[in-house]
Chain A
Amino acid sequence: MALSLPERLPGFVGRLPAPPPGLLRPVFQQLIAGMLRRHPEMFERLGEYGRRRFLIDPVDLPVIFIMRPDAERPLLTPHRRGEAVVWEAAVRGPLPKLISMVNGEEDGDALFFSRDIVIEGDTEAVLALRNAIDDAGIDLVEETEALLGPFAGVLAALRKRAVPLLEAAARIAGAARAAAGRAHDKAGAHDGAGEDGGRGAEGAS
């Protein structure tokens, strides 16, 4: 299912307090266990790279994730941004871009060329993960709906409302940035910030 997502989430989302990771942990564990059930070929394609610990860092969220896509013992745990975590390979980027890449709607190399996505650590493992996910045809919406079972309808209704809301919020944030930029320019400052001025607002963990 193609999602219409903004380039990145509005800045305030990243400043929200992170939900208690302890509460989220069973949900994400269920999510990766479900992915293993529905896409065993992805874990098979990953082979030995499935035993690496990947840091998934949606830079516009207050949480980060550690994932070990191991067919024997899959793991997906949320952590508060800033919490010390151990990882061997990292993928960082705005949540909408990460979702588009996982859903097969945007090309990982293109996101790397445009600097939307940053990778660190074990490059080989990141490449293997990206290729395996791309082949598996993951759809995060369907995965989440499968997780929710009978409550999937609630998610669908929420999604219908949330996406336009997020897009509107992103447009408002963009307009506010542009207005701030114009005010800044009028004040005689020239710092070279363009339309891209919003990128990289949050650092890594």
Chain B
Amino acid sequence: MSLELVCPAGTPSSLREAVDAGAHAVYCGFRDETNARNFPGLNFSRKELEEAIAYAHERGAKVLVAINTFAQAGRMALWEQAVDDAASMGADALILADLGVADYAARKHPGQRLHLSVQASASSPEAIGFYVREFGVKRVVLPRVLTLPEIAALNAEIDCETEVFVFGGLCVMAEGRCLLSSYATGKSPNMNGVCSPPSHVAYSEREGGEMVSRLGEFTINTFAAGEKAGYPTLCKGRFEAGGRKLYVFEDPTSLNAVDMLGEFAKAGVTALKIEGRQRSKAYVRKVVSDFRRAVDALESGEAAHTSLASLSEGTQETEGVYRKTWR
């Protein structure tokens, strides 16, 4: 079985682009707080998702529906409706994070394939085993905090498939548990589906071409004229510490693990995930087709390096924690 390429779609046209570019599966979400990419102008209405699933299925691709925020007390109906609708539309899998939502989906739709979102941040055999045992989860999307040897060791101990991120925005915190955005704006990917919500982001140009990015009351960065920029997230901010201005947590950079696909296969990984539901169809077209070529090349015993730096945050790439060179 070859590696499955799981690709992002923020809009119906991106989904069609991903399928046409060779995605084995596409993940997407409804236009509300039930999915962790709840940005303005993105996501799918019920009718759009129905049409998108038909489009993908006609071409042999799967559609995975992300319902991966944490349901709020008293508003559970929104998440339950999303589960019911996605299941009735024929979604190939639901990507869930919340225990209550997983429980509802498993009881109400026992035949529905369930994946565990990276937002659940399950990274130990015990945690993953719980979701497999209690809800019949078939696949877990691993947090981007595990090294390649750790992923191999984990796969040897669990009874479900694993999916790892191979390209795109690099979340350096434990997903689902990061409170930085919430601290700065009151809104988070975990509860509202938005990290650094654009309603709280402001950019301004200074004389001389300097660009200042702000999130709420915090200055995230000041980019010199012509200096490559990154997203306005606190984890990629440049701050003054110990008398120096530096990226305290992480540089603006994107993950690109295209040279590690063979190692992921050997480590027992089933699926490769490309990040970027908030990106354009131009990004989807380029990244998906390059990675599909790399997956096919791997199968035929060839190597296929691809540099996608021009599409990367800060136009820089990294293999992140997979090859951890620090402690």
Residues of A within 8 A of B273 (CB): none
Establish whether residues B282 and A120, one from each chain, have CB atoms under 8 Å apart when the complex forms: no
Residue of A whose beta carbon sits closest to that of B285: A104
Residues of B within 8 A of A112 (CB): 229
Residues of A within 8 A of B125 (CB): none
A204 smallest CB distance to B (angstroms): 8
Q: Does A169 contact B (CB under 8 A)?
A: no
Establish whether residues A115 and B226, one from each chain, have CB atoms under 8 Å apart when the complex forms: yes
Q: Does A49 contact B (CB under 8 A)?
A: yes
Residues of A within 8 A of B41 (CB): 45-46, 49, 127-132, 135
Number of interface residues of A (CB under 8 A): 36
Q: CA separation between A46 and B42, bound complex, in Å?
A: 9
Establish whether residues B205 and A131, one from each chain, have CB atoms under 8 Å apart when the complex forms: no
Which of A110, A125, A204 touches B283 (beta carbons < 8 Å)? A110
Residues of A within 8 A of B202 (CB): 123
Q: CA separation between A181 and B13, bound complex, in Å?
A: 44
B241 smallest CB distance to A (angstroms): 24
Which stretch of B74-82, B295-303, B308-316 is in the interface? B308-316
Residues of B within 8 A of A105 (CB): 282
* Majority secondary structure of chain A interface residues (helix, strand, loop or mixed): helix
Convert B2-29 into 0s and 1s, putting 1 for each residue whose CB lies closer than 8 angstroms to a CB of A: 0000000011111000000000000000
Residues of A within 8 A of B325 (CB): none
Establish whether residues B198 and A124, one from each chain, have CB atoms under 8 Å apart when the complex forms: yes
Which of A49, A101, A107, A119 touches B40 (beta carbons < 8 Å)? A49
A123 smallest CB distance to B (angstroms): 4
Residues of B within 8 A of A131 (CB): 10-11, 39-42, 278
- B interface residue numbers (CB < 8 A to A): 10-14, 39-42, 197-199, 201-205, 209, 211, 223, 225-230, 252, 278-283, 286, 310-315
- A interface residue numbers (CB < 8 A to B): 45-46, 49, 101, 104-110, 112-115, 118-120, 123-132, 134-137, 196, 199-200, 204
- 21 CB-based A-B contacts, threshold 8 Å: A46-B41, A49-B40, A106-B282, A107-B283, A109-B278, A118-B211, A120-B203, A123-B198, A123-B203, A124-B197, A124-B201, A125-B40, A128-B41, A130-B41, A131-B40, A131-B41, A131-B42, A131-B278, A132-B41, A134-B13, A137-B13
Q: Which 3 A-B pairs have the closest CB atoms?
A: A131-B41, A128-B40, A135-B11
